[in-house]
C-alpha cells in the first residue's frame, strides 16, 4: 500500500524543521506540528492502518516516547495490544535490556519480560517517529526477539536516508517518508 503523492505532501508539510536542536548541526524533525494538524495526523494513521490490516499482527511495540503516540493509536485501530519499549529504569516489572551506541557513549532500552504474553513467536510491528542511525530501533528489535516474539517489520514516519540506518536490521524496514 503506497502513499499517494498528495498524502505525502500533507504529512511532509506538517512536520517542522528545527535547526541546531538539540545541538549545533542537527536538523530536528519536529512532529508536534503533525500531531496538532488533524488532517495530517489522520492521513498518516489511515495510511498505516491500511498498510498493516493485512499483516495479521499480534502486537504493536512503540519506542519511548514518540513511538508511543503513533504505535498505540495504530494498535487500537488494528484491534491488537500495544507494548512500550522504554528508556532504562522506567518499567516497573522484570525487564530485559539492550545497550546501543550513541555518537558518544551508550544508551539502553528495556521491555517487560512477559510483554507478549505466553504465546511464543507473536508477530510484532515496531513503530517509532524517525530513524536516523537506526541504533535505537535495532536494539528494540533485538529486545522483542529476545523475549520470544518475532519483530516482522520496523516502521517509521520519517527516515533520514543519508544515514543508512536501515542497513543491518533483522526485520523488514518501512518508512512513510524518506529524506535523501
Half-sphere exposure of 73 (CA within 13 A, CB side): 16
CB of 30 to ligand AMP, least distance (A): 7
66 catalytic residue (yes or no): yes
Helices (H), 2-87: 5-14, 32-35, 38-52, 66-78
- Containing 62, the helix (H) or strand (E) segment is strand 59-63
Binding to ligand AMP by CB under 6 A, coded x per residue (else -) over 50-89, reads -------------x--x-----------------------
Give the separation between CA 179 and CA 75, rounded to whole angstroms: 26
Residue burial 85-108, b: 16+ Cβ < 10 Å; e: rest: bbeeeebeeebbebebeeeeeeee
Grid coordinates 511532509 are at which residue? 12
Query: Pattern of binders to ligand AMP over 26-55, x per CB under 6 A?
Result: xxxx--------------------------
Q: Going residue by residue from 106 to 135, which x/- string records binding to ligand AMP, judged by CB under 6 A?
A: ----------------------xxxxxxxx
Size of the site for ligand AMP (CB under 6 A): 17
Q: Which stretch binds ligand AMP (CB under 6 A): 21-29, 69-77, 88-96, 172-180?
A: 21-29
Catalytic residue among 6, 103, 118, 167: 103
Nearest CB to ligand AMP, comparing residues 58 and 71: 71
- Cβ distance to ligand AMP smaller for residue 148 or 161: 161
- Nearest alpha carbon to residue 173 among 161, 102, 76: 161
Which one, 58 or 141, has the nearer CB to ligand AMP?
Answer: 141
Alpha helices in the chain (DSSP H): 5-14, 32-35, 38-52, 66-78, 135-146
Compare residues 28 and 174 and give the one whose CB is closer to ligand AMP.
28
Q: What residues are labeled active site?
A: 66, 103
List residues binding ligand AMP (CB under 6 A). Answer: 26-29, 63, 66, 128-137, 165
Amino acid at each position: 500500500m503506497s502513499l499517494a503523492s498528495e498524502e505525502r505532501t500533507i504529512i511532509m508539510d506538517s512536520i517542522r524543521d528545527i535547526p541546531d536542536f538539540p545541538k549545533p548541526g542537527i536538523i530536528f524533525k519536529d512532529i508536534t506540528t503533525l500531531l496538532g494538524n488533524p488532517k495530517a495526523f489522520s492521513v498518516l494513521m489511515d495510511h498505516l492502518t491500511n498498510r498493516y490490516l493485512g499483516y495479521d499482527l499480534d502486537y504493536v511495540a512503540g519506542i519511548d516516547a514518540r513511538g508511543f503516540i503513533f504505535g498505540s493509536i495504530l494498535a487500537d485501530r488494528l484491534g491488537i495490544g500495544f507494548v512500550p519499549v522504554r528508556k532504562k529504569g522506567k518499567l516497573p516489572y522484570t525487564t530485559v535490556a539492550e545497550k546501543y551506541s550513541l555518537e558518544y557513549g551508550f544508551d539502553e532500552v528495556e521491555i517487560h519480560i512477559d510483554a507478549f504474553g505466553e504465546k511464543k513467536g507473536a508477530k510484532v510491528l515496531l513503530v517509532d517517529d524517525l530513524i536516523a542511525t537506526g541504533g535505537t530501533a535495532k536494539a528494540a528489535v533485538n529486545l522483542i526477539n529476545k523475549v520470544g516474539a518475532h519483530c516482522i517489520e520496523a516502521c517509521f514516519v520519517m527516515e533520514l536516508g543519508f544515514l543508512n540506518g536501515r542497513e543491518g536490521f533483522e526485520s523488514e524496514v518501512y518508512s512513510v517518508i524518506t529524506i535523501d
